[in-house]
Structure 1
Protein backbone atom coordinates (compact mmCIF):
# COMPACT_ATOMS: atom_id res chain seq x y z
CA UNK A 1 0.00 0.00 0.00
CA UNK A 2 2.87 2.38 0.76
CA UNK A 3 4.50 1.61 -2.57
CA UNK A 4 1.28 1.97 -4.52
CA UNK A 5 0.44 5.25 -2.76
CA UNK A 6 3.86 6.78 -3.42
CA UNK A 7 3.88 5.49 -6.98
CA UNK A 8 0.41 6.82 -7.73
CA UNK A 9 1.31 10.25 -6.38
CA UNK A 10 4.46 10.23 -8.53
CA UNK A 11 2.52 9.14 -11.63
CA UNK A 12 -0.08 11.88 -11.16
CA UNK A 13 2.64 14.53 -10.78
CA UNK A 14 4.13 13.36 -14.07
CA UNK A 15 0.78 12.96 -15.83
CA UNK A 16 1.48 9.33 -16.62
CA UNK A 17 0.13 5.85 -15.88
CA UNK A 18 1.17 3.80 -12.88
CA UNK A 19 2.07 0.18 -13.46
CA UNK A 20 3.18 -2.01 -10.58
CA UNK A 21 6.13 -4.40 -10.87
CA UNK A 22 5.43 -7.68 -9.09
CA UNK A 23 8.64 -9.69 -9.43
CA UNK A 24 9.19 -9.59 -5.64
CA UNK A 25 6.09 -11.76 -5.23
CA UNK A 26 7.53 -14.42 -7.53
CA UNK A 27 10.50 -15.26 -5.30
CA UNK A 28 10.43 -17.04 -1.92
CA UNK A 29 10.83 -14.88 1.21
CA UNK A 30 14.41 -14.01 2.11
CA UNK A 31 15.80 -14.36 5.60
CA UNK A 32 13.09 -13.37 8.06
CA UNK A 33 10.73 -11.85 5.51
CA UNK A 34 7.10 -12.88 5.86
CA UNK A 35 5.43 -14.51 2.87
CA UNK A 36 3.16 -11.99 1.18
CA UNK A 37 0.38 -12.02 -1.37
CA UNK A 38 -0.49 -9.21 -3.75
CA UNK A 39 -3.84 -8.12 -2.33
CA UNK A 40 -4.35 -4.65 -3.77
CA UNK A 41 -6.97 -6.02 -6.20
CA UNK A 42 -9.17 -6.67 -3.14
CA UNK A 43 -9.38 -2.88 -2.84
CA UNK A 44 -8.72 -1.57 -6.34
CA UNK A 45 -9.97 -4.26 -8.66
CA UNK A 46 -7.69 -4.80 -11.66
CA UNK A 47 -4.30 -3.18 -11.07
CA UNK A 48 -2.20 -2.35 -14.17
CA UNK A 49 1.09 -4.24 -13.99
CA UNK A 50 4.41 -3.74 -15.73
CA UNK A 51 4.68 -5.80 -18.91
CA UNK A 52 7.74 -7.65 -20.17
CA UNK A 53 8.14 -4.84 -22.72
CA UNK A 54 8.14 -2.25 -19.92
CA UNK A 55 10.82 -4.17 -18.04
CA UNK A 56 12.87 -4.59 -21.23
CA UNK A 57 12.88 -0.80 -21.74
CA UNK A 58 13.97 -0.27 -18.15
CA UNK A 59 16.74 -2.82 -18.57
CA UNK A 60 17.89 -1.07 -21.74
CA UNK A 61 18.12 2.33 -20.05
CA UNK A 62 20.03 0.76 -17.17
CA UNK A 63 22.56 -1.18 -19.24
CA UNK A 64 22.55 -0.13 -22.93
CA UNK A 65 25.12 2.58 -23.79
CA UNK A 66 23.02 4.07 -26.58
CA UNK A 67 19.96 4.41 -24.36
CA UNK A 68 22.09 5.89 -21.58
CA UNK A 69 23.65 8.43 -23.95
CA UNK A 70 20.23 9.43 -25.29
CA UNK A 71 18.95 9.99 -21.77
CA UNK A 72 22.00 12.08 -20.82
CA UNK A 73 21.53 14.16 -23.95
CA UNK A 74 17.94 15.00 -23.05
CA UNK A 75 19.03 16.08 -19.58
CA UNK A 76 21.80 18.31 -20.97
CA UNK A 77 19.27 19.98 -23.27
CA UNK A 78 16.97 20.68 -20.33
CA UNK A 79 14.36 18.23 -21.58
CA UNK A 80 12.37 15.82 -19.46
CA UNK A 81 14.50 12.68 -19.04
CA UNK A 82 13.43 9.71 -21.10
CA UNK A 83 14.06 7.51 -18.06
CA UNK A 84 14.56 8.12 -14.34
CA UNK A 85 15.45 5.49 -11.76
CA UNK A 86 14.30 6.75 -8.36
CA UNK A 87 15.53 4.61 -5.49
CA UNK A 88 14.79 5.21 -1.82
CA UNK A 89 18.24 5.91 -0.38
CA UNK A 90 17.64 4.95 3.26
CA UNK A 91 14.65 2.68 4.02
CA UNK A 92 12.11 4.15 6.45
CA UNK A 93 13.70 7.60 6.36
CA UNK A 94 11.91 10.30 4.39
CA UNK A 95 13.67 10.92 1.07
CA UNK A 96 12.26 13.95 -0.81
CA UNK A 97 13.96 12.93 -4.08
CA UNK A 98 10.86 11.19 -5.38
CA UNK A 99 8.80 14.36 -4.98
CA UNK A 100 10.85 16.11 -7.67
CA UNK A 101 11.55 13.13 -9.94
CA UNK A 102 10.46 13.54 -13.55
CA UNK A 103 10.70 11.35 -16.60
CA UNK A 104 8.79 9.90 -19.52
CA UNK A 105 9.49 6.55 -17.89
CA UNK A 106 10.15 6.31 -14.15
CA UNK A 107 11.10 3.27 -12.09
CA UNK A 108 10.32 3.95 -8.43
CA UNK A 109 12.11 1.49 -6.14
CA UNK A 110 11.67 1.51 -2.35
CA UNK A 111 9.36 1.02 0.60
CA UNK A 112 8.28 4.68 0.89
CA UNK A 113 6.84 4.28 4.40
CA UNK A 114 6.03 7.91 5.11
CA UNK A 115 2.82 9.81 4.44
CA UNK A 116 4.77 12.77 3.03
CA UNK A 117 5.19 10.83 -0.20
CA UNK A 118 1.44 10.85 -0.85
CA UNK A 119 -0.14 13.58 1.30
CA UNK A 120 -1.22 15.38 -1.88
CA UNK A 121 -3.59 12.53 -2.79
CA UNK A 122 -4.71 11.59 0.74
CA UNK A 123 -8.43 11.99 0.04
CA UNK A 124 -8.21 9.88 -3.10
CA UNK A 125 -6.33 7.10 -1.30
CA UNK A 126 -8.91 7.01 1.47
CA UNK A 127 -11.55 6.39 -1.19
CA UNK A 128 -9.49 3.81 -3.05
CA UNK A 129 -8.33 1.71 -0.11
CA UNK A 130 -11.78 0.40 0.72
CA UNK A 131 -12.51 -3.32 0.17
CA UNK A 132 -14.60 -3.95 -2.92
CA UNK A 133 -18.06 -5.28 -2.14
CA UNK A 134 -17.73 -4.76 1.61
CA UNK A 135 -21.34 -3.56 1.70
CA UNK A 136 -22.48 -7.09 0.83
CA UNK A 137 -20.61 -8.59 3.80
CA UNK A 138 -23.45 -8.21 6.28
CA UNK A 139 -21.54 -8.86 9.50
CA UNK A 140 -18.49 -6.71 8.77
CA UNK A 141 -20.49 -3.89 7.21
CA UNK A 142 -22.91 -3.71 10.14
CA UNK A 143 -19.98 -3.71 12.55
CA UNK A 144 -18.30 -0.93 10.58
CA UNK A 145 -21.40 1.24 10.97
CA UNK A 146 -21.43 0.60 14.72
CA UNK A 147 -17.75 1.52 15.03
CA UNK A 148 -18.35 4.89 13.42
CA UNK A 149 -21.16 5.78 15.83
CA UNK A 150 -19.24 5.39 19.12
CA UNK A 151 -15.88 6.41 20.58
CA UNK A 152 -14.31 3.27 19.18
CA UNK A 153 -10.60 2.63 19.68
CA UNK A 154 -8.81 0.01 17.63
CA UNK A 155 -5.91 -1.74 19.35
CA UNK A 156 -3.65 -3.90 17.20
CA UNK A 157 -1.32 -6.55 18.60
CA UNK A 158 1.01 -8.17 16.08
CA UNK A 159 2.98 -11.15 17.31
CA UNK A 160 2.94 -14.16 14.93
CA UNK A 161 5.84 -13.58 12.53
CA UNK A 162 7.48 -11.07 14.92
CA UNK A 163 8.21 -13.50 17.76
CA UNK A 164 11.45 -14.95 16.37
CA UNK A 165 12.35 -12.04 14.12
CA UNK A 166 15.57 -10.10 14.72
CA UNK A 167 14.37 -7.04 12.82
CA UNK A 168 10.72 -6.86 13.87
CA UNK A 169 9.79 -7.46 17.51
CA UNK A 170 6.33 -7.23 19.09
CA UNK A 171 5.59 -3.95 20.83
CA UNK A 172 6.00 -4.52 24.60
CA UNK A 173 3.04 -5.03 26.90
CA UNK A 174 4.08 -1.90 28.84
CA UNK A 175 3.47 0.15 25.69
CA UNK A 176 -0.06 -1.18 25.31
CA UNK A 177 -0.93 -0.57 28.95
CA UNK A 178 0.40 3.00 28.81
CA UNK A 179 -1.53 3.61 25.59
CA UNK A 180 -4.75 2.23 27.08
CA UNK A 181 -4.41 4.54 30.08
CA UNK A 182 -3.73 7.54 27.85
CA UNK A 183 -6.82 6.83 25.78
CA UNK A 184 -8.92 6.53 28.94
CA UNK A 185 -7.79 10.00 30.04
CA UNK A 186 -8.31 11.68 26.67
CA UNK A 187 -11.32 9.94 25.10
CA UNK A 188 -14.75 10.03 26.71
CA UNK A 189 -16.28 6.58 27.26
CA UNK A 190 -13.89 4.73 24.94
CA UNK A 191 -14.87 1.34 23.56
CA UNK A 192 -11.79 -0.74 22.75
CA UNK A 193 -11.73 -3.20 19.85
CA UNK A 194 -8.76 -5.55 19.77
CA UNK A 195 -7.34 -6.93 16.52
CA UNK A 196 -4.53 -9.47 16.63
CA UNK A 197 -2.90 -12.45 14.97
CA UNK A 198 -2.59 -13.86 18.52
CA UNK A 199 -5.95 -13.02 20.07
CA UNK A 200 -5.38 -15.54 22.88
CA UNK A 201 -2.29 -13.63 24.05
CA UNK A 202 -4.22 -10.36 23.87
CA UNK A 203 -7.05 -11.75 25.99
CA UNK A 204 -4.61 -13.08 28.56
CA UNK A 205 -2.41 -10.00 28.94
CA UNK A 206 -4.24 -6.76 28.13
CA UNK A 207 -5.90 -5.01 31.06
CA UNK A 208 -8.63 -2.50 30.25
CA UNK A 209 -9.87 -2.03 33.79
CA UNK A 210 -13.52 -0.95 33.75
CA UNK A 211 -13.43 0.13 30.09
CA UNK A 212 -15.51 -1.83 27.58
CA UNK A 213 -13.53 -4.10 25.30
CA UNK A 214 -14.33 -6.42 22.40
CA UNK A 215 -11.87 -8.92 20.94
CA UNK A 216 -12.48 -9.36 17.21
CA UNK A 217 -11.35 -12.66 15.77
CA UNK A 218 -13.82 -13.50 13.02
CA UNK A 219 -11.75 -12.28 10.05
CA UNK A 220 -9.00 -14.84 9.51
CA UNK A 221 -6.89 -16.14 6.66
CA UNK A 222 -8.00 -14.73 3.32
CA UNK A 223 -10.43 -12.37 5.10
CA UNK A 224 -7.79 -10.69 7.29
CA UNK A 225 -7.76 -7.61 5.06
CA UNK A 226 -11.28 -6.85 6.28
CA UNK A 227 -9.82 -6.14 9.72
CA UNK A 228 -7.93 -3.25 8.17
CA UNK A 229 -11.24 -1.85 6.96
CA UNK A 230 -12.78 -2.24 10.42
CA UNK A 231 -9.79 -0.48 11.97
CA UNK A 232 -10.26 2.41 9.57
CA UNK A 233 -13.84 2.76 10.79
CA UNK A 234 -12.72 3.27 14.39
CA UNK A 235 -12.41 6.83 15.66
CA UNK A 236 -9.13 6.39 17.56
CA UNK A 237 -6.22 3.96 17.43
CA UNK A 238 -3.47 2.21 19.33
CA UNK A 239 -1.26 0.81 16.59
CA UNK A 240 1.41 -1.86 16.63
CA UNK A 241 4.79 -1.36 14.97
CA UNK A 242 3.16 -2.68 11.83
CA UNK A 243 2.16 -1.23 8.48
CA UNK A 244 -1.17 -3.07 8.80
CA UNK A 245 -2.45 -0.98 11.71
CA UNK A 246 -0.54 2.07 10.40
CA UNK A 247 -2.87 2.04 7.42
CA UNK A 248 -5.90 1.23 9.54
CA UNK A 249 -5.24 4.38 11.55
CA UNK A 250 -4.20 6.57 8.63
CA UNK A 251 -7.30 5.75 6.59
CA UNK A 252 -9.59 6.94 9.39
CA UNK A 253 -11.15 10.22 8.30
CA UNK A 254 -11.91 11.49 11.83
CA UNK A 255 -10.05 14.86 11.99
CA UNK A 256 -9.89 14.67 15.80
CA UNK A 257 -8.55 11.13 16.01
CA UNK A 258 -6.05 10.15 18.69
CA UNK A 259 -3.47 7.75 17.29
CA UNK A 260 -0.82 6.24 19.55
CA UNK A 261 2.25 4.44 18.19
CA UNK A 262 5.18 2.66 19.88
CA UNK A 263 8.47 4.57 20.02
CA UNK A 264 10.53 1.66 18.69
CA UNK A 265 9.37 0.71 15.21
CA UNK A 266 12.04 -1.87 14.44
CA UNK A 267 14.37 -3.84 16.68
CA UNK A 268 17.32 -2.02 15.11
CA UNK A 269 17.76 1.33 16.83
CA UNK A 270 18.32 3.28 13.62
CA UNK A 271 14.59 3.21 12.85
CA UNK A 272 12.39 5.04 15.32
CA UNK A 273 8.66 5.61 15.10
CA UNK A 274 9.30 9.28 14.30
CA UNK A 275 10.71 8.17 10.93
CA UNK A 276 7.47 6.39 10.03
CA UNK A 277 4.44 7.84 11.80
CA UNK A 278 2.72 11.15 10.94
CA UNK A 279 3.58 14.20 13.02
CA UNK A 280 0.04 14.37 14.41
CA UNK A 281 0.30 10.96 16.08
CA UNK A 282 1.37 10.40 19.68
CA UNK A 283 4.48 8.31 20.30
CA UNK A 284 4.87 6.34 23.54
Structure 2
Protein backbone atom coordinates (compact mmCIF):
# COMPACT_ATOMS: atom_id res chain seq x y z
CA UNK A 1 0.00 0.00 0.00
CA UNK A 2 1.20 3.51 -0.89
CA UNK A 3 -0.08 6.60 0.90
CA UNK A 4 0.44 10.09 -0.47
CA UNK A 5 0.26 12.85 2.13
CA UNK A 6 -0.95 15.87 0.16
CA UNK A 7 -0.31 19.49 1.06
CA UNK A 8 -0.13 22.90 -0.60
CA UNK A 9 -1.83 24.37 -3.65
CA UNK A 10 -2.64 22.72 -6.96
CA UNK A 11 0.89 23.18 -8.32
CA UNK A 12 2.38 21.30 -5.37
CA UNK A 13 -0.37 18.68 -5.56
CA UNK A 14 0.60 18.05 -9.18
CA UNK A 15 4.25 17.38 -8.33
CA UNK A 16 3.28 15.16 -5.41
CA UNK A 17 0.83 13.17 -7.54
CA UNK A 18 3.36 12.71 -10.35
CA UNK A 19 5.97 11.34 -7.96
CA UNK A 20 3.39 9.10 -6.26
CA UNK A 21 2.43 7.65 -9.63
CA UNK A 22 6.09 6.89 -10.29
CA UNK A 23 6.32 5.10 -6.95
CA UNK A 24 3.11 3.24 -7.74
CA UNK A 25 4.59 2.07 -11.03
CA UNK A 26 7.67 0.90 -9.12
CA UNK A 27 5.66 -1.23 -6.67
CA UNK A 28 2.45 -1.96 -8.62
CA UNK A 29 0.42 -1.44 -5.45
CA UNK A 30 -2.73 0.58 -4.61
CA UNK A 31 -2.27 4.32 -4.06
CA UNK A 32 -4.30 6.26 -1.49
CA UNK A 33 -4.62 10.00 -0.89
CA UNK A 34 -4.29 11.45 2.60
CA UNK A 35 -6.04 14.83 2.29
CA UNK A 36 -6.54 15.44 6.02
CA UNK A 37 -4.29 18.53 5.89
CA UNK A 38 -7.02 20.38 3.96
CA UNK A 39 -9.40 20.23 6.91
CA UNK A 40 -7.28 22.97 8.52
CA UNK A 41 -5.45 24.39 5.51
CA UNK A 42 -7.85 27.02 4.18
CA UNK A 43 -5.48 28.99 1.91
CA UNK A 44 -5.60 26.39 -0.88
CA UNK A 45 -8.09 23.73 -1.91
CA UNK A 46 -7.58 20.08 -2.73
CA UNK A 47 -8.22 20.07 -6.48
CA UNK A 48 -6.73 16.91 -7.97
CA UNK A 49 -10.12 15.25 -8.43
CA UNK A 50 -10.85 17.87 -11.11
CA UNK A 51 -8.04 16.35 -13.17
CA UNK A 52 -7.87 13.16 -15.22
CA UNK A 53 -6.10 11.26 -12.45
CA UNK A 54 -6.13 7.50 -12.14
CA UNK A 55 -9.62 6.25 -11.26
CA UNK A 56 -8.14 3.53 -9.07
CA UNK A 57 -6.84 6.00 -6.47
CA UNK A 58 -9.00 6.31 -3.36
CA UNK A 59 -9.02 8.33 -0.16
CA UNK A 60 -7.08 6.97 2.80
CA UNK A 61 -10.35 6.21 4.61
CA UNK A 62 -10.84 3.29 2.20
CA UNK A 63 -7.33 1.91 2.64
CA UNK A 64 -8.05 -0.32 5.62
CA UNK A 65 -5.12 1.30 7.43
CA UNK A 66 -5.45 0.68 11.15
CA UNK A 67 -5.38 3.51 13.67
CA UNK A 68 -1.95 2.53 15.00
CA UNK A 69 -0.29 2.74 11.56
CA UNK A 70 -2.10 5.98 10.74
CA UNK A 71 -0.89 7.65 13.96
CA UNK A 72 2.61 6.24 13.42
CA UNK A 73 2.82 7.83 9.98
CA UNK A 74 1.59 11.17 11.35
CA UNK A 75 4.28 11.10 14.04
CA UNK A 76 6.98 10.30 11.47
CA UNK A 77 5.79 13.22 9.35
CA UNK A 78 5.86 15.66 12.28
CA UNK A 79 9.30 14.49 13.38
CA UNK A 80 10.69 14.79 9.86
CA UNK A 81 9.21 18.26 9.34
CA UNK A 82 10.63 19.48 12.67
CA UNK A 83 14.04 17.99 11.89
CA UNK A 84 14.08 19.51 8.41
CA UNK A 85 13.28 22.99 9.71
CA UNK A 86 15.79 22.68 12.55
CA UNK A 87 18.50 21.54 10.13
CA UNK A 88 17.91 24.45 7.77
CA UNK A 89 18.00 27.02 10.58
CA UNK A 90 20.98 25.50 12.37
CA UNK A 91 23.22 24.85 9.39
CA UNK A 92 21.81 27.57 7.11
CA UNK A 93 21.37 25.08 4.28
CA UNK A 94 18.34 24.61 2.09
CA UNK A 95 18.64 20.80 1.89
CA UNK A 96 19.05 17.97 4.37
CA UNK A 97 20.67 15.88 1.64
CA UNK A 98 20.31 12.64 -0.26
CA UNK A 99 21.75 10.56 2.59
CA UNK A 100 18.87 11.65 4.82
CA UNK A 101 16.35 10.94 2.04
CA UNK A 102 17.73 7.41 1.64
CA UNK A 103 17.69 6.82 5.40
CA UNK A 104 13.97 7.54 5.50
CA UNK A 105 13.31 5.70 2.22
CA UNK A 106 14.70 2.46 3.66
CA UNK A 107 11.82 2.61 6.15
CA UNK A 108 9.32 3.07 3.34
CA UNK A 109 9.11 6.80 4.09
CA UNK A 110 9.74 8.83 0.94
CA UNK A 111 10.09 12.15 2.74
CA UNK A 112 11.80 15.27 1.40
CA UNK A 113 11.12 18.96 1.03
CA UNK A 114 14.57 19.51 -0.45
CA UNK A 115 14.73 21.31 -3.76
CA UNK A 116 17.00 18.77 -5.41
CA UNK A 117 16.27 15.48 -7.17
CA UNK A 118 17.20 12.26 -5.34
CA UNK A 119 17.08 8.71 -6.70
CA UNK A 120 14.34 6.52 -5.20
CA UNK A 121 15.02 2.99 -3.98
CA UNK A 122 12.64 0.06 -3.72
CA UNK A 123 12.19 -1.45 -0.25
CA UNK A 124 10.33 -4.38 1.25
CA UNK A 125 7.84 -2.56 3.45
CA UNK A 126 4.11 -3.19 3.78
CA UNK A 127 3.28 0.53 3.94
CA UNK A 128 4.99 3.20 1.85
CA UNK A 129 4.33 6.86 2.60
CA UNK A 130 5.15 9.90 0.43
CA UNK A 131 5.53 13.33 2.02
CA UNK A 132 7.20 16.30 0.34
CA UNK A 133 7.14 18.39 -2.83
CA UNK A 134 9.35 16.44 -5.32
CA UNK A 135 9.60 19.44 -7.65
CA UNK A 136 11.53 18.04 -10.57
CA UNK A 137 10.50 16.31 -13.77
CA UNK A 138 13.37 13.88 -13.16
CA UNK A 139 11.25 12.14 -10.51
CA UNK A 140 8.67 11.03 -13.09
CA UNK A 141 10.43 11.50 -16.42
CA UNK A 142 10.05 7.86 -17.46
CA UNK A 143 6.24 8.11 -17.22
CA UNK A 144 5.87 11.75 -18.27
CA UNK A 145 3.50 11.00 -21.18
CA UNK A 146 1.06 9.26 -18.85
CA UNK A 147 1.46 12.02 -16.27
CA UNK A 148 0.72 14.76 -18.80
CA UNK A 149 -2.48 12.96 -19.79
CA UNK A 150 -3.58 12.37 -16.20
CA UNK A 151 -2.98 15.97 -15.16
CA UNK A 152 -5.33 17.50 -17.72
CA UNK A 153 -8.54 19.04 -16.33
CA UNK A 154 -11.70 17.01 -16.94
CA UNK A 155 -14.25 19.05 -14.98
CA UNK A 156 -16.57 20.84 -17.39
CA UNK A 157 -15.57 24.53 -17.77
CA UNK A 158 -17.88 27.24 -16.52
CA UNK A 159 -19.42 29.61 -19.04
CA UNK A 160 -16.83 32.26 -18.17
CA UNK A 161 -13.92 29.82 -18.43
CA UNK A 162 -15.22 28.50 -21.76
CA UNK A 163 -15.28 32.04 -23.14
CA UNK A 164 -11.64 32.55 -22.19
CA UNK A 165 -10.74 29.10 -23.52
CA UNK A 166 -12.25 29.79 -26.93
CA UNK A 167 -10.27 33.03 -27.14
CA UNK A 168 -7.00 31.37 -26.10
CA UNK A 169 -7.34 28.46 -28.52
CA UNK A 170 -8.00 30.79 -31.44
CA UNK A 171 -4.95 33.03 -30.91
CA UNK A 172 -1.20 33.00 -30.33
CA UNK A 173 -1.89 33.08 -26.62
CA UNK A 174 0.97 33.71 -24.19
CA UNK A 175 0.40 32.76 -20.56
CA UNK A 176 2.09 35.19 -18.16
CA UNK A 177 2.03 34.04 -14.52
CA UNK A 178 2.61 36.77 -11.95
CA UNK A 179 2.76 35.98 -8.25
CA UNK A 180 2.16 38.91 -5.93
CA UNK A 181 0.10 37.57 -3.04
CA UNK A 182 1.22 38.34 0.50
CA UNK A 183 2.59 34.81 0.99
CA UNK A 184 4.91 35.48 -1.96
CA UNK A 185 5.88 39.12 -1.46
CA UNK A 186 6.89 38.58 2.16
CA UNK A 187 8.96 35.45 1.58
CA UNK A 188 12.16 34.05 0.09
CA UNK A 189 10.19 33.44 -3.11
CA UNK A 190 10.02 37.13 -4.03
CA UNK A 191 12.55 37.24 -6.88
CA UNK A 192 10.52 38.27 -9.96
CA UNK A 193 10.39 42.03 -10.49
CA UNK A 194 8.14 43.86 -12.92
CA UNK A 195 11.17 44.22 -15.17
CA UNK A 196 11.50 40.45 -15.34
CA UNK A 197 7.99 40.12 -16.75
CA UNK A 198 8.48 43.01 -19.18
CA UNK A 199 11.70 41.40 -20.46
CA UNK A 200 10.05 37.99 -20.74
CA UNK A 201 7.19 39.41 -22.76
CA UNK A 202 9.67 41.17 -25.06
CA UNK A 203 11.48 37.89 -25.70
CA UNK A 204 8.22 36.15 -26.62
CA UNK A 205 7.05 39.06 -28.80
CA UNK A 206 10.33 38.96 -30.74
CA UNK A 207 9.80 35.29 -31.59
CA UNK A 208 6.02 34.98 -32.03
CA UNK A 209 3.72 36.63 -34.55
CA UNK A 210 0.65 38.44 -33.23
CA UNK A 211 1.06 37.40 -29.58
CA UNK A 212 -1.87 37.87 -27.21
CA UNK A 213 -0.77 38.07 -23.57
CA UNK A 214 -3.02 36.55 -20.91
CA UNK A 215 -2.17 37.51 -17.33
CA UNK A 216 -2.66 34.95 -14.54
CA UNK A 217 -2.07 35.99 -10.94
CA UNK A 218 -2.85 35.18 -7.32
CA UNK A 219 -3.65 38.90 -6.85
CA UNK A 220 -4.86 40.23 -10.18
CA UNK A 221 -5.88 43.60 -8.71
CA UNK A 222 -2.28 44.38 -7.73
CA UNK A 223 -1.16 43.58 -11.26
CA UNK A 224 -3.83 45.83 -12.76
CA UNK A 225 -2.83 48.70 -10.50
CA UNK A 226 0.96 48.56 -10.50
CA UNK A 227 2.03 47.01 -13.82
CA UNK A 228 2.32 49.02 -17.03
CA UNK A 229 2.55 46.59 -19.92
CA UNK A 230 4.04 47.54 -23.26
CA UNK A 231 1.70 45.12 -25.02
CA UNK A 232 -2.09 44.77 -24.82
CA UNK A 233 -3.03 42.19 -22.19
CA UNK A 234 -6.08 40.27 -21.03
CA UNK A 235 -6.61 39.38 -17.39
CA UNK A 236 -7.78 36.00 -16.11
CA UNK A 237 -9.46 36.43 -12.74
CA UNK A 238 -12.04 34.99 -10.34
CA UNK A 239 -11.73 31.41 -11.48
CA UNK A 240 -11.00 28.23 -9.46
CA UNK A 241 -7.42 26.98 -9.60
CA UNK A 242 -8.20 24.07 -11.90
CA UNK A 243 -10.03 26.36 -14.36
CA UNK A 244 -6.99 28.67 -14.44
CA UNK A 245 -4.71 25.68 -14.94
CA UNK A 246 -6.65 24.53 -18.00
CA UNK A 247 -6.54 28.03 -19.51
CA UNK A 248 -2.82 28.35 -18.75
CA UNK A 249 -1.74 25.07 -20.36
CA UNK A 250 -3.95 25.88 -23.35
CA UNK A 251 -1.68 28.85 -24.13
CA UNK A 252 1.09 28.33 -26.69
CA UNK A 253 4.01 30.07 -24.93
CA UNK A 254 4.80 31.14 -21.38
CA UNK A 255 6.45 33.63 -19.08
CA UNK A 256 6.34 31.85 -15.74
CA UNK A 257 6.85 32.90 -12.15
CA UNK A 258 8.95 30.84 -9.76
CA UNK A 259 5.87 28.87 -8.77
CA UNK A 260 4.87 25.24 -9.10
CA UNK A 261 1.48 26.24 -10.54
CA UNK A 262 2.92 28.27 -13.43
CA UNK A 263 5.56 25.56 -14.00
CA UNK A 264 2.77 22.99 -14.30
CA UNK A 265 0.80 25.16 -16.71
CA UNK A 266 3.78 25.49 -19.05
CA UNK A 267 4.77 21.84 -18.66
CA UNK A 268 1.31 20.52 -19.54
CA UNK A 269 1.09 22.53 -22.77
CA UNK A 270 0.88 20.31 -25.86
CA UNK A 271 2.67 22.83 -28.08
CA UNK A 272 5.90 21.10 -29.10
CA UNK A 273 7.44 24.46 -30.12
CA UNK A 274 6.50 26.23 -26.91
CA UNK A 275 8.78 28.91 -25.51
CA UNK A 276 9.07 29.02 -21.72
CA UNK A 277 10.71 32.06 -20.13
CA UNK A 278 11.66 31.55 -16.47
CA UNK A 279 13.53 33.55 -13.80
CA UNK A 280 17.23 32.71 -13.42
CA UNK A 281 16.74 32.24 -9.68
CA UNK A 282 13.94 30.33 -7.96
CA UNK A 283 14.62 31.36 -4.36
CA UNK A 284 16.24 34.49 -2.93
CA UNK A 285 18.93 32.93 -0.77
CA UNK A 286 19.56 29.54 -2.37
CA UNK A 287 23.11 28.22 -2.45
CA UNK A 288 22.22 26.50 -5.72
CA UNK A 289 19.26 26.47 -8.06
CA UNK A 290 16.71 23.68 -7.57
CA UNK A 291 16.10 20.87 -10.04
CA UNK A 292 12.73 22.27 -11.08
CA UNK A 293 14.15 23.86 -14.23
CA UNK A 294 13.62 22.30 -17.65
CA UNK A 295 16.49 22.31 -20.14
CA UNK A 296 14.33 24.06 -22.72
CA UNK A 297 13.63 27.10 -20.54
CA UNK A 298 14.98 30.53 -21.46
CA UNK A 299 16.30 32.06 -18.22
CA UNK A 300 16.07 35.80 -17.61
CA UNK A 301 18.38 37.29 -15.00
CA UNK A 302 16.65 38.39 -11.80
TM bracket, shorter-chain basis: 0.7 to 0.9
Kept in 1: contact 2:191–2:284 (CA 8 A): no
CA apart distance, 1:198:
2.4
The within-5 A match list for 1:60-75 is: none
- What's the counterpart of residue 126 of structure 1? 148
Kept in 2: contact 1:190–1:212 (CA 8 A): no
- What's the counterpart of residue 53 of structure 1? 65
TM-score normalised according to structure 1 size = 0.77
CA apart distance, 1:109:
2.4
Moved more, 172-181 or 16-25: 16-25
- What's the counterpart of residue 209 of structure 2? 188
CA apart distance, 1:204:
3.9
- What's the counterpart of residue 281 of structure 1? 297
CA apart distance, 1:170:
5.4
**CA–CA distance in 2 between the matches of 1:133 and 1:14?**
30
| 1:28-82 per-position Cα deviation (integer Å, ceiling 9, x unaligned) | 5xxxxx833222122257751224726634767999xxxxxxxxxxxxxxxxx99
Moved more, 6-15 or 154-163: 154-163
- What's the counterpart of residue 199 of structure 1? 220
**CA–CA distance in 1 between the matches of 2:192 and 2:215?**
14
1:43 matched to 2:42: no
- What's the counterpart of residue 67 of structure 1? none
Of 252, 275, 278 in structure 2, the residue corresponding to residue 235 of structure 1 is: 252
User: Secondary structure of 1:269's partner?
Assistant: coil
- What's the counterpart of residue 213 of structure 1? 233
Kept in 2: contact 1:237–1:259 (CA 8 A): yes
Structure 1: any 5+ residue segments left out of the alignment?
A: 29-33, 64-80
Q: Flag the 1:243–1:141 CA change in 2: closer, same or farther, 3 A.
A: same
User: Secondary structure of 1:252's partner?
Assistant: coil
| 1:237-266 per-position Cα deviation (integer Å, ceiling 9, x unaligned) | 111111111111111011110011112212
Kept in 1: contact 2:152–2:268 (CA 8 A): no
User: Secondary structure of 1:268's partner?
Assistant: coil
Structure 2: any 5+ residue segments left out of the alignment?
A: 1-13, 76-104
User: Secondary structure of 1:107's partner?
Assistant: strand
Of 46, 70, 92 in structure 1, the residue corresponding to residue 115 of structure 2 is: 92
**CA–CA distance in 2 between the matches of 1:166 and 1:82?**
34
Kept in 2: contact 1:265–1:271 (CA 8 A): no
Kept in 1: contact 2:173–2:211 (CA 8 A): yes
> What is the aligned residue count?
253
Larger Rg: 1
